[in-house]
């Protein structure tokens, strides 16, 4: 009875909310180029804070990263940040792609827009692809992947026009001063961004929150999506959770193939224990985002610890047992600090965290959007070390038109950042299957 009620949830509709200040009738929708150019005063202030940070609390003996980011590892990161990280060079790197802002529903939205160059005649299709990051990430996650998507690959006859957008309240995108900016409302803004840029239909790739936005967009606005590719495919539908907890704990082979079993069993460890271990941040951000944000917004050391810890445990949970957290096994420190710097220089950590509170409150959850399956052609790239991974049988519940689901024994949560070649290939393979 409960399942029937949830599964019959009607798709909600939202008004075109004005999230900005001023008069909506006077919205300036001109596309404006953006170049990152941080003042010397901001950098001088950062240096002062790093140089004068209080001594870190010594870690317990032998705990490595099991109590969070070990202060010995953090000390090395901060020392590198102070001595070796060259913002002048990194800023030049971050400006390598064309960047713009445009107002959508009253908010200035930042995006990278890279069009393919020198496309030969045999490249039959240039396809618009919206790239959506998550938390605690940024558009920086896509820098290594964008060239793979926008330069013609050997043996392919398609190439992408990439639009990597900063979510509202993240990085260089403006935050609202009004409550209610949930994932569903961000889906509306991202849909309208693409329409405003001239794309009536497009493809989308997302990870983490970006995947959630893509999924909800496919439920709310399926008419604009040609296909959805996700590296964070989840199923929070009631039937999914019941099957996972009942069949997954007793007869898991009824849910998944032999290939899939290592990805979702044992259920108690993969879902219950891992959820308790890795989602404390989520509970804080869903209930008290401004409190934790206050502690991070003016403390670069704390901000780095809070963000970089996720790049250890969410890339490979076994790295918690390592003295260095495996932090640079997949990511150069410069790249990781680029991401931290985007949060620091834009002062966006608090506004980024509010998305959890707006999405996980009773009013938003009561809409039941996550109980409505998607009919848009979808692909799931499942990486074994991600936080949660589901077998195809359950993914089909959420994504009724699941065209592709590939399972990778290597890789974790930040796939675009960690394994850009693998993820780009997965995107190409999917689109080639569904393109007209």
Tell me if 413 sits within 8 A of 141, measured CB to CB: no
Is residue 33 classed as helix, strand or coil in its secondary structure? strand
Neighbouring C-alpha atoms within 13 Å toward the C-beta of 296: 28
Q: Which of 170, 413, 426, 428 is catalytic?
A: 413
The answer to whether residue 356 is catalytic is yes
Q: Which pair of tokens denotes residue 308?
A: 């970089």
Query: Per the residue annotation, which of 203, 356, 399, 428 is the catalytic one?
Result: 356
Tell me how far CA of residue 53 lies from CA of 47, 68, 141, 340, 426, in angstroms: 10, 19, 28, 17, 43
- Taking the CA atoms of residue 355, residue 358, residue 361 and residue 365 in that order, the dihedral angle to the nearest 10 degrees is -90
Q: If you count them, how many residues does the chain have?
A: 436
Whether 331 is a known active-site residue: answer no
Catalytic annotation present for 208:
yes
**Rounded to an integer, what distance in angstroms lies between the CA atom of residue 371 and that of residue 87?**
45
CA angle 178, 200, 184 (to 5 degrees): 30
- Please give the Cα distance from 77 to 92 (Å, whole number): 21
Query: Three-state DSSP class for 245?
Result: helix
Question: What is the SS3 assignment for 111-168?
Answer: EEEECCCCCCCCCCEEEEEEEECCCCCCHHHHCCCHHHHHCCCCCCCEEEEEEEECCC
Report in angstroms the alpha-carbon separations of 184 from 189, 212, 357.
Answer: 9, 9, 13
**Number of neighbouring beta carbons within 10 Å of residue 203:** 25
225-230/202-206 β-pairing: parallel
Q: Are 158 and 431 a contacting pair, CB within 8 Å?
A: yes
Which pair of structure tokens corresponds to residue 114?
């890279």
> Do 19 and 105 meet the contact criterion of CB atoms below 8 Å apart?
yes
Kindly name the residue from 142, 208, 338, 428 that is annotated as catalytic: 208
- Active-site amino acid positions: 208, 356, 413
């Amino acid at each position: 009875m409960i399942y029937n009620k949830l599964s019959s949830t009607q798709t909600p509709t939202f008004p075109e909310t004005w999230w900005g200040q001023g008069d909506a009738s006077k919205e300036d929708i001109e596309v404006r180029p953006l170049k990152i150019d941080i003042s010397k005063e901001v950098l001088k202030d950062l240096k002062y804070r790093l140089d004068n940070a209080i001594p870190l609390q010594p870690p317990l003996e032998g705990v490595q990263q099991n109590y969070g980011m070990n202060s010995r590892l953090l000390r090395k990161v901060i020392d590198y940040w102070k001595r070796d990280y060259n913002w002048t060079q990194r800023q030049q790197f971050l400006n390598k792609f064309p960047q713009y802002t445009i107002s959508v529903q009253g908010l200035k939205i930042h995006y990278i827009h890279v069009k393919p160059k020198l496309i030969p005649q045999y490249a039959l299709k240039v396809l618009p692809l919206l790239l959506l990051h998550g938390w605690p990430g940024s558009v920086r996650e896509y820098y290594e992947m964008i060239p793979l998507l926008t330069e013609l690959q050997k043996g392919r006859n398609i190439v992408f026009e990439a639009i990597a957008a900063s979510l509202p309240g993240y990085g260089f995108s403006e935050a609202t001063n009004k409550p209610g900016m949930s994932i569903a409302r961000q889906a509306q803004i991202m849909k309208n961004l693409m329409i405003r840029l001239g794309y009536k239909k497009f493809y989308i790739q997302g990870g983490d929150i970006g995947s959630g936005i893509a999924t909800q967009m496919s439920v709310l606005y399926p008419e604009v999506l040609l296909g959805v590719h996700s590296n964070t495919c989840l199923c929070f539908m009631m039937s999914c959770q019941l099957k996972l907890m009942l069949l997954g704990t007793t007869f898991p082979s009824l849910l998944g193939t032999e290939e899939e079993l290592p990805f979702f069993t044992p259920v108690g460890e993969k879902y219950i224990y891992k959820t308790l271990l890795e989602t404390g941040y989520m509970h804080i951000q869903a209930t008290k985002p401004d409190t934790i944000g206050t502690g991070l917004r003016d403390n670069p050391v704390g901000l780095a610890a809070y963000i970089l810890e996720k790049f250890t445990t969410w890339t490979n949970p076994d790295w918690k047992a390592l003295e260095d957290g495996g932090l640079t096994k997949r990511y150069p420190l410069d790249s990781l600090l680029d991401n931290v710097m985007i949060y620091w220089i834009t002062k966006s950590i608090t506004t980024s965290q509010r998305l959890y509170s707006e999405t996980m409150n009773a009013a938003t959850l009561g809409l039941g959007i996550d109980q409505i399956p998607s009919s848009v052609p979808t692909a799931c790239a499942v990486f074994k070390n991600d936080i949660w991974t589901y077998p195809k049988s359950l993914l089909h519940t959420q994504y009724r038109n699941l065209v592709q689901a590939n399972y990778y024994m290597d890789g974790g949560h930040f796939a675009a950042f960690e394994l850009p070649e693998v993820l780009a290939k997965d995107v190409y393979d999917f689109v080639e299957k569904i393109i007209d």
